[in-house]
A and B are shown apart, each in its own frame.
Chain A
Amino acid sequence: MMSDDERIDARLSAFFSSPEARPDEAFVTRIERALLAERKLAAARVAAWRRFRGETAASLAIVVAFALLWRLAPAGLPLDQLAVGPAAAALLVLFLWFAVELRPAATGW
């Protein structure tokens, strides 16, 4: 024997019931595409972060190398006797590096 609540629950469940539908393939495809797009974005983000770390390390290495060269220069040597000062050389190398890195083919512009 059903209680009042059980009877009401059964009637309400009947109101809520909807026919068993086949999976909505359009929606499944939409999710699949969103997943693939997210995967690509994540891969691009990882690649960009790896590249950033590599280039930052390379830049630091160049700066440190030139700082060491500067310190190793003979003590009494006047700067105007150096063909190219370490800072000028560093700037030149950095300029070349940027020129290579920022060329349209490298950035995809």
Chain B
Amino acid sequence: MDQDAVLARNAAAGDVAAFTALVRAHEAAVRRFLGRLTRDGAADDLAQEVFLRAWRSAGAYRGDGSYRGWLLRIAWTEFLGSTRAAGRRAARDQSAYEAGQPPQRDAEAALDLARALAALGERERAAASLCFGEGCSHSEAAEIMGLPLGTLKSILARARTALASRLEIG
């Protein structure tokens, strides 16, 4: 059993210290993923909701996938819920989206990437963030987004084409 699974089991038993260790290990990935999805810089608030939800349903983690993947699935669900609740599915101000992006190694490249991502739909953005940003396999990304593998691959292919075009790769 890996370290995350042991910590998750202890967290499910109410061990706050174990859960804090999991937060410390995975907060960057969750915030980065949400930062690329959200357009209004609300990533940290959403990330807090993700971790609180993970805490409340700690017993639901079965250990059959990575804990990070489980958190990212909660993050995707939270993101969809937040956009539905606020009725914000329509395209929004791009500059606000860019302002919410996490710091990157190269500021110019980060801005280019933010602009390219802003032009994608939610699902394309999430698929690209998971596969290119978080290093998830296609099947893992499909599992996180609750999609059939073939659908995920189609979405990712669209995202790849759009990003490559906008970032002048190819």
Known contacts being A4-B170, A8-B160, is A38 close to B55, with CB within 8 Å?
A: yes
Q: Which of B23, B32, B163 touches A28 (beta carbons < 8 Å)?
A: B23
Q: Which of B24, B51, B105, B128 touches A12 (beta carbons < 8 Å)?
A: B128
A35 to B31 CA separation, bound complex (whole angstroms): 18
Q: Assign chain B's interface to a size class.
A: 35 or more
Chain A residue at smallest Cβ distance from B32 = A18
A101 within 8 A of B: no
Most A C-beta atoms less than 10 A away, residue of B16, B27, B135, B160: B27
Q: Which of B25, B32, B160 touches A9 (beta carbons < 8 Å)?
A: B160
A19 touches B105 (CB 8 A): yes
Chain A interface mostly:
helix
A21 to B104 CA separation, bound complex (whole angstroms): 10
Instruction: Using CB atoms and an 8 Å cutoff, list the residues of chain B in contact with chain A.
Output: 16, 19-20, 23-25, 27-28, 31-32, 44, 47-48, 51-52, 55-56, 102-105, 109, 112-113, 128-129, 131-133, 135, 160, 163-164, 167, 169-170
B16 touches A28 (CB 8 A): no
